[in-house]
Structure 1
């Protein structure tokens, strides 16, 4: 009988570095009110967004992913040649073939990389982060570059006040590598396919049933976050930073309130990157973490709870130690 040799992986994994990128163009609520029936006050009250970033017409999802990914590699103190796998989480590539990850890897300088795209919409970064962690621990990869990048403005009706006020463009990234002590906890993930029609594409543009999605997120996501803490052996009071997908400020605040009711500290820092970045789908969690670190709100060693949720309806959450 032939016995196959198995790869030997790391004891644990951790995030080695992070990076992000946003386009230059800032779009305010007042600017949007010039093309649709809305106001700054209405948008702030409904979703909590003051401004967002829109990419230029010739600025692609891949372009943004390259910059965010290169920033993460540099932040980790690595050279591109130190990375062997690239995962690009997104749901807005203009075509399904070729995938974006191989293009990103080549442009960053990660040659002959294992490279693939992953589509779990707004939960994509958390899905990809767990997959990267498992690859490192299984010995299938040594260091994995995980990128969430979206150009949502390619897929929205610019005069649809229900969606054009929410979505934006950008990219965030993290490098995952081996560790002696766990820096990425087990994932809690799943899907609610029975309500898949709440978010999707229709006639080439994104639509969502806003009130139904809001009710689903505000009732279902906090329990998922608590399960992610439980499987990681972490109490709510241990969490220093909560970084949920930046879908809607009211949803973010609802999740934080429910976690505090279960023992999370009042001084737990809560990401509110949506106020100035909008909803960037799979990019929102890593981008928020990078922005919070730059602002001094997140420091190395902090215990962070990540939870992504969106179209599918897919969700995923895990505890990480901030780099």
Structure 2
């Protein structure tokens, strides 16, 4: 996936000077930026498509189960509402006509045979859906790993029973993308604390959220997380065997660090400068001289009046 080399800022500073003194040209100025950076992994388009297709097949049946479950719950609510209405109408002598009409409407409820109980797919027990839920799971695992390192004993009772193995992010479908910009940092922190069980972070192609939400029977499904013991997850892991693992060695202080220094990161800022610097300096000099002359004349007038 393509990455922008520099962000574009369109706001105007309150201290900005008037730039109408002549023609200007665009230049780029470099300055040191934060070297502790975690970039999104770059995944080939064919791998993204293969992972998406495999995931949709893996999620088959969840949408039907969710629809059936919601329909059954809706019918139960309608039945409870019908009973309450009949009880209310029985106590109201003045609603006899309305009562007969209401009963006729209630008799037209959908057939409960349509809500045949479907077995819950086993994949749904090992699936996490949503930006907030995946973020919460990552934060819990990072905290548990840090507590384990400090106290030198296992804290599995405070952490989720299963660890995440794969996180799929519909990054191209999320607006604004800053909503998921924290995920690479959390994944890198967890992988640095637990390198033996890395978490794979996979950005998907545009339009992936529509397919995933349809497979899940939801309106939105921007981020999916799969546990390590999720059944039939091996085909996805096989596709991601060459995907680089995100890590942040500076976050794992108890682990021996191979690199002593973090590479310098130089950032480029797009700005503009006058094409003729000599003429611009002369113009500024003349402006300063003119301002001084005006101030002197003003002060002389005030002194003469007094």
TM > 0.5 fold call: no
Q: Between Structure 1 and Structure 2, whose CA radius of gyration is higher?
A: 2
TM-score, normalised on structure 2? 0.26
Higher helix share: 2
TM-score, normalised on structure 1? 0.25
More RCO (CA 8 Å, sep 6+):
2
Higher strand share: 1
